[in-house]
Amino acid sequence: MGKGRLEAFSDGVLAIIITIMVLELKVPHDASWEALRHLGPVFLSYVLSFVYVGIYWNNHHHMMHAAKSVNGAILWANLFLLFWLSLVPFVTAWMGENHFAQLPVICYGAVLIMSSISYGILVRVLVKHHGENSVLARAVGSDTKGKISTGIYAAAIVVSFIHSWIAFGMYFIVALIWLIPDRRIERKLADENNGHHPS
């Protein structure tokens, strides 16, 4: 099957997710700095979640660019990823409104770790479909960053029981790790287009 509908649907869902998060930013009724300060946790939660959704969109775009086609398993794996990402607006608003209280921060981490796991499942299903010697498989490699991220999420959830702000900081660290451009797929595609086929 062609991959066009999967990409278009995924882009649409991610756009809606960001829209929902923006709508959760309520305008303060008081025109004062104190009113803005009160909205600080809500805005901080929004910024972090916006970055995360942007990272997933960026990586998903590059991965699907390297993919040649999709099958039923890939469609379901993609839906599994979108399910967890669709929960981001809920946990974002809950965490921000409650000023990073313990349970919302734990649930936010749970959504992040499940999003990471589901993305990893999508990668593995795509690699299986295209073969271990495909451009996609060579570009993904061992996915060290993904494994490290999942480990940090798990650690942050544990830390949440001690201090939720430290856990929130750990979520920020993972986002910073992924903000560093990962051009593995771009390089592999460029090599393929130039006629190079590294092992």
Q: Are 104 and 91 in contact (CB under 8 A)?
A: yes
What are 136-188's pLDDT values in tens digits?
787 777 778 888 999 999 999 999 999 999 999 999 999 998 887 556 666 66
pLDDT of residue 29: 77
Name residue, tokens 């600080």. 40
Which residue did the predictor score with more confidence, 12 or 62? 12
pLDDT reading at 48 higher than 90: yes
pLDDT of residue 199: 41
pLDDT reading at 34 higher than 50: yes
The phi and psi torsions of 161 (rounded to 5 degrees) equal: -70, -20
How many CB atoms neighbour CB 1 within 10 A? 11
pLDDT of residue 65: 82
What residue type is 100 in one-letter code?
A: F
Instruction: Summarize the confidence of residues 49-60 as an average pLDDT.
Output: 94
Question: What's the maximum distance between 2 C-alpha atoms anywhere in the chain?
Answer: 62
Ranges of H-type helices in 99-163:
102-130, 135-140, 144-160
Instruction: Summarize the confidence of residues 16-36 as an average pLDDT.
Output: 85
Q: Are 121 and 82 in contact (CB under 8 A)?
A: no
pLDDT of residue 26: 83
pLDDT reading at 192 higher than 80: no
Q: Half-sphere exposure of 178 toward its Cβ, with a 13 Å CA cutoff?
A: 25
What are 97-108's pLDDT values in tens digits?
999 999 999 999
pLDDT confidence bin for 198, thresholds 50/70/90: very low
- Whole-model pTM: value is 0.86
Which residue did the predictor score with more confidence, 123 or 35? 123
Mean pLDDT of the chain: 87
Distance CA 188, CA 183 (A): 9
What residue type is 72 in one-letter code?
A: G
pLDDT of residue 103: 96
